[in-house]
Structure 1
Amino acid sequence: MRTVTRARLLIVCLLSLRYGGHDEPAAQSHGLFCASADAHPTPFILRFRKTDRAVILPAYLDHIFDAAAAIERKNARRYLYTNNNDSWEETPFNHPSTFDTLALDPGMGERIKADLDAFSKGESFYHRNGRAWKRGYLLYGPPGTGKSSLIAAIANYMQFDIYDLELTKVSNNADLKSLLMQTTRKSVIVIEDIDCSVKLSNRDGADEASEKATDSNTSCKLTLSGLLNFTDGLWSCCGEERIFIFTTNFKERIDLALLRPGRMDMHILLSYCTFHAFKKLARNYLGIQEHPMYLELDEAMRKTSIQLTPAAIAEILISNQDSPDVAIREVLAAFPKDMPNERAGNVDGGKCQLSHNESKQQTFRQTMFVFFQKTKHLR
């Protein structure tokens, strides 16, 4: 704290001063004086007696510094980083996704935000319990269910930068550690499609065949042990207030060591579009809250085995954004009544857990459906 030599301290700030229920004369009687600095409506001058500075100054300045840091962070340009060997390359991050634009099931968005809020405020809690100040999320589900959009929404909500880690460009564990050390605090570190980006060797490195990456990167010597240390080892605590996010289409393919609490603390299933999620999409894309065909659509979505991802339905709505009636009729046509839902009652709130082959068939049907919807006007 700077040494104050003046008998009366003068603090000028651009924040409005609240008296906490006292009027101005009452505040003056307690040694607080507030006046407009130059007849401008927002700046204020706060004066108090030198004898009161030990009580007022620390808390007040802490508040000002925290508010200034929050404003600076909100207005600061944020970046998306991608790795190239053992270094990062940056590009401005301007993704517009928010929790309000996501097609999530009831309560899911609020639960995620509550967890993020607790993490953001939990510095003393983590330190008191001897834990690194970090959080891990696993996003899993079929393609097109909004995993990347949720990552962007989390980054926007927290006002964090994103480090998009491409494992196929990491040569070995040493480079992985170097990349980790270059990340900053208040950042989201993402590994997408972790189940198929590279083949990780076992922990002792004995399996030479599994040390090879897929595609052309056959010289990769990235091990499972190295990735575990990246997310939860001693080096992971060298930068604080960081979020690790893994994504996968097939959760069952991931080594269980990567999924345990402390590495992936929260597992978030992003599944096919439910009626509640559809209503949110319709509100965002069509600007409607209710529609006469909603009851029929709700029944059709519950009674058919056909399932579409939010991305597939969003494409229909975008193609018919000027005609809500046409858009909803086309969505309704995608759920035929003569195909009963044989998967009702499965785990995860009735959401279907598909095998690899079933998922590929669903994705193919969705792709063909959207293709025919987009080309029917050309026929």
Structure 2
Amino acid sequence: MMLKLIKSMVQAITRPIQYLIISYLRYLVGFPSLTHHDNQVTVIIEDSTDNGRINVIHGATQAYLLNKINLDFAKINHDLVKICVGECQFDDIYQGAELKWRIFVDKNNIGNIPKQCFELRFDEKHRDLVFDSYIPFVESKAKEIKSKKRILEMHTYSHCSDTWETKSLDHHSTFETIVMKEDLKRGLTDDLDRFISKKDFYKRVGRHWMRYYLLHGLPGTGKTSLVAAIAKYLNFDVYNLRLPEGVKTDFDPRRLILRVKDSSILVVEDKDTSLEGTTVALSQLLSCLAGFWSNGKARIVIFTTNNKERFDPTLLCRMDMKIYMGHCSFEGFKTLASNYLGLSHDNDGPHRLYPDIKRLIDGQAVTPGQIAEELMKSQDVDVALEGLVRTLEMKSLISNKIDEDDKDL
């Protein structure tokens, strides 16, 4: 283990040089800071290293401790800044050694941005046991916990606080429930499977193991649902980034990318790439992606836009796959009716209103989101479908009226 190697190296040199080496190691991999007082050792484990990278020891500690006290970190992380010093303390016992843990939030750092930290205190006589055995044990147990209790997370970047705000990815969509043409769905899942299977190839040739997708279509056509379905299919966390709409001189994509975990999806919400600030930010982001995500870990980058025509043509050429999320078809409606009302997707024994819905929905500019909104108004199948028919009839009348007015002009 790395800790044993560090210990053997440090013991062979003088104390002043020891401090220099430890400081450098902390800069590289987040080696915890140490203090001593009354034969007690205090270890502070921060969420990121001095150079901005995610501290892997912090992540392991988080999984181990919160599992031990039966807390779901994904649900409390966004509110963790409210935890007061001393409010979240607990003990652990390892091979007879007493270990005291505390979760606290450090606001006394650059920019006064709250940083979540773990504090570990133990007797000096247990120092070797802690670093040689206990911390590796924590890391090992954390891997087991994450594999057994895998809860996908959604990280949303806050430009104000310069942090990824985390919550559980609580979205119902999967490839079985999403409204999407079957041939397009199969093409996407096949592409994802090929990408994941090429790990050894990318590593051997030294290429970036990344895949770029563009999801385009009007609001409500299912872009967010598709992202959730991809995340569940790959078992990847999601990092959601909305690019700044104006020129932001302090926008630093390098810093935020360094905090993105391995095997994840970065979603870049692009409202309008014709804006100068957005175009600059997007170019900076792509340059950083190519420069920093080259360590052999799988990454998916998904760009979303409401208008593909306004997307920068030079950036458009870099997309590996462009996916149009269009209006809802009758087949899409049947998927939604199955999801929300429990109706069979088969054509055998359809509901009495299905012919009317098929007639009204074909050729209509209605999105899956609009259909879902109607179906959610009642759990009674007849009431929900009757409401949908009335809405579609109204949309049809409005559309016909607009067409007639256009002909008169």
Aligned-pair identity in percent equals 39
More strand per residue: 2
Measure the CA separation in 1 of the matches of 2:387 and 2:151.
40
1:93 aligns with 2:177: no
State which of 257, 262, 265 in structure 2 corresponds to 1:185.
Answer: 262
CA-CA distance at 1:74 after TM superposition: 5.7
**Corresponding position of 2:196:** 120
CA-CA distance at 1:242 after TM superposition: 0.6
How do residues 36-115 of structure 1 correspond to structure 2 at under 5 angstroms?
72-73=146-147, 75-85=149-159, 86-115=162-191
- Say which is worse superposed, 240-249 or 70-79, in terms of deviation: 70-79
Letter in 1 for 2:331: H
Deviations 1:272-300 (A, max 9, x none): 11000000011111111222332332233
Letter in 2 for 1:73: S
Deviations 1:35-74 (A, max 9, x none): xxxxxxxxxxxxxxxxxxxxxxxxxxxxxxxxx9799436
Measure the CA separation in 2 of the matches of 1:165 and 1:309.
24
Q: 1:294 to 1:243 in 2, by over 3 A?
A: same
Letter in 2 for 1:331: L
Letter in 1 for 2:193: D
**Corresponding position of 2:387:** 330
Measure the CA separation in 2 of the matches of 1:338 and 1:272.
14
Q: 1:69 to 1:121 in 2, by over 3 A?
A: farther
CA-CA distance at 1:131 after TM superposition: 2.7
Measure the CA separation in 2 of the matches of 1:117 and 1:141.
24
Residues 139 and 245 in structure 1, CA contact (< 8 A), matched pair in contact too: yes
Letter in 1 for 2:149: N
Q: 1:271 to 1:338 in 2, by over 3 A?
A: closer
Residues 105 and 274 in structure 1, CA contact (< 8 A), matched pair in contact too: no
How do residues 229-240 of structure 1 correspond to structure 2 at under 5 angstroms?
229-231=287-289, 233-238=290-295, 240=297
Letter in 1 for 2:332: A
State which of 146, 162, 166 in structure 1 corresponds to 2:238.
Answer: 162
TM-score w.r.t. length of structure 2: 0.54
1:228 aligns with 2:286: yes
**Corresponding position of 1:264:** 319
**Corresponding position of 2:309:** 252
Letter in 1 for 2:270: D
**Corresponding position of 2:33:** none
Measure the CA separation in 2 of the matches of 1:109 and 1:103.
9
**Corresponding position of 1:299:** 359
State which of 225, 231, 234 in structure 2 corresponds to 1:149.
Answer: 225
Query: Any runs of at least 4 consecutive aligned residues in structure 1 with deviations exceeding 6 A, and if so which?
Result: 68-71
Q: 1:174 to 1:248 in 2, by over 3 A?
A: closer
Measure the CA separation in 1 of the matches of 2:167 and 2:314.
33
Letter in 2 for 1:127: K
Measure the CA separation in 2 of the matches of 1:149 and 1:191.
15
Q: 1:145 to 1:92 in 2, by over 3 A?
A: same
CA-CA distance at 1:257 after TM superposition: 1.6
RCO comparison, higher one (Cα < 8 Å, 6+): 1
SS in 2 for 1:89: strand
TM-score w.r.t. length of structure 1: 0.58
Deviations 1:211-249 (A, max 9, x none): 4x6xxxxxxx94453133134x33332462011011111
Deviations 1:151-183 (A, max 9, x none): 111112211111111322994587101211221
Measure the CA separation in 2 of the matches of 1:140 and 1:238.
29
SS in 2 for 1:100: coil
Residues 184 and 239 in structure 1, CA contact (< 8 A), matched pair in contact too: no
